[in-house]
Chain A
Amino acid sequence: MPFSTLTDIQAKLNAGETTAVQVAQTYLDRIATYNDDLNAFVHIDPKNVLAQAEASDAYRKEHGARPLEGLPIAVKDIFCTQNGPTRCCSNILEGFEAPYDAHVITRLREAGAVLVGKTNMDEFAMGSSSETSAFGGVQNPWNTDCIPGGSSGGSAAAVAAALTPAALGTDTGGSIRQPASLTGLVGLKPTYGRVSRRGIIAFASSLDQAGPMTRTVKDAALLTSIMSGHDAGDATSVADAPSFDWLAACEAKDMKGLRIGKPKEYFIDGMDEEVRTQVETALKKCQDLGAEIVDISLPHTEYAVAAYYVIAPSEASTNLSRYDAVRFGHRCDNPEDLEDMYARSRDEGFGSEVKRRILTGTFALSSGYYDAYYLKAQQVRTLISQDFKAAFEQVDIIATPTSPIPAFKSGEKTDDPLTMYLSDIFTIAVNLAGLPGLSQPCGFAQDLPVGLQWIAPAWQEDKILAAASAYESATDWHNQYPKGFGGES
C-alpha cells in the first residue's frame, strides 16, 4: 500500500476495497512516523485531512466518484490554501492564512482530492536544494545526508518516502524536475500557460508553472489533466491551448518512428560521469524501443543560466515588493517610522537567498543597467526559444539529463550561490522558452537516483507522456524506493 500510485489507490477505492478515510489515515500515520526524519511537511492538520476524506467517501456514496475521488495529494507551501497557513516557507508570511484557494487547489478539491498538507520548499521557491526554507532543510529519503533538490524538495521527499502518493510542485527554473530527478520521481512542468498561476505565490511570473510530482507517468498525466485548463482570472493562462486525452497519451508501449534529439550542450565536461552513463543507457533503451536518436545542437544553452539569473530575480524583486508589512505578513516591533518599518520588517522576514535575489533583480532593473542586463537577457531568451524551434524542425522530442549531478550533501553549496545556481543548468532553458518538460527516473549514480528529462514543443505534453510511458513500461526504475521507510516489510 504505502508505495502505491494514485492509479493503484483509485482502483482499490473504486473496487470498494478501501475508503478515502482509510487511505488518508495510512498516510497520516506515515507522516507521523517519518516526517521528523525528512522535514518534508511543514503543516499538517490531521483532523482537516480526515474531514476531507470523510466528505469524499460520502460524495462517492451519493454521487459516484470524481476524477481524483479520495486521492491524497500534498501541496507545496507556495499554493494558497484556505483554512490553514500558507507561508511559502518564509518568515515574512508569519501567521498568514490565505483567505482564498489557488485556482489549481479549487480544481483539485472539485475533483474530489484530499489535500494532505503543505510541503517544505526553498523560501519563495528560490533555491535548488530546499535548504533556504524558514522551517529548515529537507532530507533526501535516498540518503538523508543529502538534499532532495529544490525548490519543491518537500514535495519530492514526501512522495519518494511515500508520505503521500503524489504532490504538487512549481517549476520556475527546474523546481519540479530537478527534485524529481534527485529523488527518483516523475515530475512534469507543463507548457507555460497550461496551468493557472492564480493563487500560487509568484516567484518569476513569466517562468512559473505548477505541475505534479508522482511515482509514475500516468499519475502525472492524471493530475495534470485536472490542474490544467483555462482560467479567466490569469491573463497568461492560454484560452485555446491545444488539448488531448491525457491518460490515453500514456498508453504508448514503444517509440517506433520517434525522432529523439540529443543536444550536445547537455552532455558536457564536468557533469557526473555516472549520470552521463545512465542517461546514455536510457537513450539506447529508447533506440531499442524503436526511436531514432539524432544529435542536435542548442547553441545558446550556455547562456541560459545567465539570462535566467537576470530575468527571474528581476521579476522576483518586484513580485516581493508587496511584502511591505502593511496589509499582511510580518511587521517589525516598534517601527520608528515608515522607512524603518519597511526596511526592518523585510530584513527580518526574508532569508539571505531571497535578499540576494531581490538585490540582484533590483540592480539588474536599476537605471543605467536595464539595457545591459534585463533587455539583453530578454534578447538571449528569444535566441534560446529560437534554438528549440529550429531543433523541433529536426526532431519530435528532446532528451537530456535533468541534472548534471545526483543529490549532493546538505550544506555543500550553501556558501557559494553561483555553484548552486549552476545545478539548474539543464532545466532552465525549458522555462525560458515556456516549453513542457518532464523528468523520470532512469537509474542510479552513487546509489542516488538519476533523472531523464524530456522536452517537447509547446502544448505537446502528449509526446512527452507517450515517450516517458514507453520508457517506463520497458524499465523498472519507477518501482524502486528508498530503504528505511517501511517499504521492505
Chain B
Amino acid sequence: MDIDVKKIANLSRIRLTDNEAKELAPQLSSIMGYIDKLSEVNTDGVPPTAHPHDVAMPQRADVVTNADRRDALQQPAPRTESGLYVVPKVIE
C-alpha cells in the first residue's frame, strides 16, 4: 500500500525529514498490510463497538468546583506573559 507519509505527518503535526519519511513508509505499509487482514472478516450488519460496556454517560451537576489555580497550572508552560500563554503568531 502506498501511504502519503508526508501528508499524514503534516496532519499529525510531526516534522519528518525526507530520510525519516523514507524509513517510515515501508514500516507503515507493512503494518497497514497486516491490518488489511480485517477485510477477510464478514462484518455485514455487525454494530461497531466504541465502548467496551453498554453503559450510559453519567453527568455532573452544574456547580462550580474549581478555584483559580492559574499560577500552579501555568508552572509547566513553556512561555507565559501576564497570565496568558504565548505562542508564535497565529495567522488567520
Contacts and interface: CB of A to CB of B under 8 A. Distances in A.
Q: In the complex, are there CB atoms of A and B closer than 8 Å?
A: yes
Interface of A: 95-97, 99, 192-193, 206-207, 232, 235-236, 238-239, 300, 302-303, 305-307, 309-310, 317, 321, 324-331, 335-344, 346-347, 350, 355-356, 358-360, 362-364, 366, 372-373, 375-383, 385, 417-418, 421, 432-434, 458
Contact of B14 (A236, A347, A379, A381): A347
B87 A193 contact: no
Contact of B15 (A305, A307, A346, A458): A346
A97 B89 contact: no
Interface of B: 3, 5, 8-16, 24, 27-28, 30-32, 34-41, 43, 46-53, 55, 57-58, 60, 69, 72-79, 85, 87-91
Contact of B73 (A99, A335, A364): A99
A181 to B, nearest CB: 23
A303 B51 CA distance: 18
Contacts of B76: 95-97, 99, 327-329
Contact of A362 (B11, B16, B51): B11
A362 B8 contact: yes
Contacts of A327: 74, 76-77, 85
B5 A359 contact: yes
Tell which of A206, A339, A376 has the most Cβ of chain B within 10 Å.
A376
B48 to A, nearest CB: 3
Contacts of A328: 76-78
A359 B32 contact: no
Contacts of B55: 193, 238
Given A300-B41, A343-B10, 15 more contacts: A96-B76, A303-B41, A307-B38, A328-B78, A338-B91, A343-B14, A344-B15, A358-B12, A372-B39, A376-B39, A376-B43, A380-B38, A380-B43, A381-B48, A418-B31
Contacts of B79: 331
A355 B12 CA distance: 9
Contacts of A341: 87-88
Nearest to B23: A352
A97 B75 contact: yes
Contacts of B72: 99
Given A326-B85, A372-B39, A359 B49 contact: no
14 contacts: A99-B75, A193-B53, A232-B60, A303-B37, A328-B76, A341-B88, A355-B24, A356-B24, A356-B27, A363-B3, A380-B38, A380-B43, A417-B31, A433-B52
Contacts of B40: 303
Contact of A317 (B12, B38, B88): B12
Determine the main DSSP class of A at the interface with B. helix
Contacts of B74: 327
Contacts of A418: 30-31, 34
B48 A379 contact: yes
Contacts of B75: 97, 99
A310 B35 contact: yes
Contacts of A382: 46-49
B3 to A, nearest CB: 6
Contacts of A307: 38
Given A310-B35, A417-B31, A359 B43 contact: no
Given A235-B58, A303-B41, A418-B34, A375 B88 contact: no
A309 B34 contact: yes
A329 B74 CA distance: 11
Contact of B53 (A330, A355, A359, A434): A434
A356 B77 CA distance: 26
B15 A343 contact: yes
B89 A338 contact: yes
B31 A347 contact: no
Lowest 8 CB-CB distances: which A-B pairs, in order? A434-B52, A378-B48, A343-B15, A331-B78, A328-B76, A379-B43, A342-B13, A347-B15
B32 A360 contact: yes
A359 B38 contact: no
Contacts of B50: 206, 378
Contacts of A325: 78
B8 A363 contact: yes
B78 A329 contact: yes
B68 to A, nearest CB: 13
A193 B48 CA distance: 19
Contacts of B28: 356, 359-360, 363
Contact of A350 (B3, B14, B39, B60): B14
Nearest to A205: B51
Contacts of A235: 57-58
Contact of B58 (A239, A306, A321, A331): A239
